[in-house]
Amino acid sequence: MNLEPTDITILGVHVKSEGYPNVTFRIRDLERASLLHTREINFPFRAVLTHHGIRKRSWRALQLPWAAIRLIYAHLRLFLAYFWHGRPNKLYIPYPSTIVLFCLSLLPKLWRPQYVVADCFISLYDTTVTDRELITRDSWAARALKSMESRAYRTADVIVVDTNLNAEYFMETFGLAASKVISLPLSINELVFRPAPYQPSVDPCTVLFIGTFVPLQGVDVIAQAIVMLGKRRDVRFRLIGSGQTAAAVERIFASELPANVEWITQWMDGERLAEEIRSADICLGIFGKGPKAQRVWPLKNYAYMAIGRAIITSDTLLTRHMLQKENSAPFLTVPCDNPAALAVAIVDLALNPGRRKEYAKNARLFYDKNLSSRIALEQLVSKLTRTADKNI
């Protein structure tokens, strides 16, 4: 029996680019799903990015109010379009969804969609207060932000996050019912980050880190481990990225980089990043000590696993859960915030190409079984095509 596709409106201020792969490729997958007929209403809001967070003082003074004006303008245009097109039956809100949800919560119920699924995999409160510590937990701003997020999330029928531990965090922090929160793998460009059988390289062993240098990545830990291994010629490091903790990393390296390190701060597109991963022998995950680091598996780790490379990352609550799923470990863990342990693990793996090859194979198998975009799409389509039972 032929079934008519379910009409879905995609509403948001999301940016579709390689810099936001989970948004870009999740929407692409939804648009290609045979069971869905999608319509998109989108007025992108892109935060201003800075290199090492540095800008002229005259600009920095205006940056926050200018961003606020742009944010308000994007959401104003979005809701004018929302009213123009008429109330949708089913709505999917990509990340960032919190403010869109909060605005919906201010509308009378008759003006809201009948059924709302929202991608909320990064909490504003968690990022601002817990991870980056930009405001203190007991401040009025933190309390207001938490209250706003709680109200926003209660407006949705389904909240999508990326791990079971993050689902527990959302339920505990924002008082959400377990039936409301689901965890789905993130989406990446699987045409670019495709499997590439690993062939161990001749010396030196290339160790790669890709990141945005946010605190949970623990790039300072990586830098300290590099300093410990600075005189080795059989290990070569490539750091790609920059961001909040870049200045601290520079201080660790003091006046100059060790001879076996190359640090590339220029932005790279997905094709170039995939080539870097394919050329690597060992890929480094996250090593921060904050509570958020215990719950996440970042996009770069998805890319490492999708291609199939040996990974070293921190021993966290999430990695322990992941390791329990498989008989053959898909990655190697070390204690978090421990440069010495990381240095030892790098040397051990660098000296053992057979182990690297085994980890690489296991990483790709784990990705295909547990993290592929196919898995996320099937579950998300199932949620979007279900019959809404909320009273209109």
In a domain, 391, yes or no: no
State the pLDDT at residue 392. Answer: 36
Same domain, 221 and 301: yes
Same domain, 356 and 378: no
Residue range 271-318, pLDDT digits in tens: 999 999 999 999 999 999 888 899 999 999 999 999 999 999 999 999
Cα–Cα distance for residue pair 20/244, rounded to 1 Å: 18
219 contacts 295 by C-beta, under 8 angstroms: no
In a domain, 196, yes or no: no
Same domain, 160 and 295: no
State the pLDDT at residue 388. Answer: 53
Residue range 358-371, pLDDT digits in tens: 999 999 999 999 99
Burial group, residue 316, by CB count within 10 angstroms (0-12, 13-18, 19+): buried
In a domain, 392, yes or no: no
Same domain, 325 and 350: yes
- By mean pLDDT, which of 17-26, 55-64, 122-131, 221-230 is the weakest? 55-64
State the pLDDT at residue 337. Answer: 92
Query: What CATH code is carried by the domain that includes residue 104?
Result: 3.40.50.2000
End-to-end distance of the chain based on CA atoms, in angstroms?
Answer: 29
State the pLDDT at residue 61. Answer: 56
State the pLDDT at residue 110. Answer: 92
Overall domain count for the chain:
2
Same domain, 213 and 69: no
Is 257 or 167 the better-scoring residue by pLDDT? Answer: 167
In a domain, 272, yes or no: yes
Same domain, 296 and 377: no
Residue range 23-34, pLDDT digits in tens: 999 999 999 999
* Residue ranges making up the domain that contains 298: 205-371
Same domain, 180 and 211: no
Residue range 136-182, pLDDT digits in tens: 888 999 999 999 999 999 999 999 999 999 999 999 999 999 999 99
Is 234 or 131 the better-scoring residue by pLDDT? Answer: 234
49 contacts 210 by C-beta, under 8 angstroms: no
In a domain, 200, yes or no: no
Nearest to 200 by CA among 328, 7, 361: 361
pLDDT for 253 beyond 70: yes
Is 17 or 193 the better-scoring residue by pLDDT? Answer: 193
pLDDT for 267 beyond 90: no
Same domain, 340 and 225: yes
20 contacts 14 by C-beta, under 8 angstroms: yes
Confidence of residue 201 (pLDDT cuts 50, 70, 90): confident
Same domain, 63 and 133: yes
